[in-house]
Homo-oligomer: A and B are copies of this chain.
């Protein structure tokens, strides 16, 4: 397999395409063109073709793509042809919100445990998922087969939590704490900065003002 670098923007669009294709499938649509996908999700059809071309040949010229096949194929590219058990560390508001987030389950992400060091929270169930003490991390990760750890603790605790998650055997970290984490190169790390979303809005508001 050739090791070409796939732009992250392509991965994000594949995620969008797959949701749109699932919608089309539910509506009973059997085949679809790149133009129709493009129109449905608001990008150019050249972009759709370019994104898909990273992963080989799909569809038939003049006929388009089979909706079910393309959906299945993209889900496989995204690694979503399997379930992904995950653990959340930090049972505060954000951790609690994420444990109840319907969008996760829909895409195959399944919370097998939430962890906190507050004795008042331990033993409670959030959305059916038990809150465990951090000391149980290794055991729950192993039993649940979790490969992903989500960090929703305050910034000062985040590095220690990342270390504990890696030690417990997870391979990927999604970090919501506003701090730069140091992890070994074999660990996948993604930082979510919620304010970036607001900055895209303020850029657009200002830029539009400039061109109006």
Residues of A within 8 A of B (CB): 1, 3, 6-9, 11-12, 14-15, 77-80, 84, 86, 92-94, 96-98, 100-104, 106-107, 109, 147-148, 155, 171-172, 174, 178, 188, 190, 192-208, 210-211
Contact = CB atoms under 8 A, between A and B. Distances in A.
Given A11-B200, A97-B97, A107-B195, 7 more contacts: A14-B203, A93-B93, A93-B96, A106-B195, A148-B201, A174-B198, A192-B194
Contacts of A155: 102
A15 to B, nearest CB: 5
Nearest to A201: B172
A197 B192 contact: yes
A80 B119 CA distance: 41
A46 B49 CA distance: 26
A205 B178 contact: no
Given A79-B206, A94-B94, A171-B205, A198 B84 contact: yes
A103 B194 contact: yes
Contacts of A8: 9, 200
Contact of A197 (B7, B174, B200, B203): B174
Contacts of A195: 101, 103-104, 106-107, 109
A150 B102 CA distance: 18
Given A84-B202, A147-B205, A202-B79, A196 B101 contact: no
Contact of A199 (B80, B198, B203, B210): B80
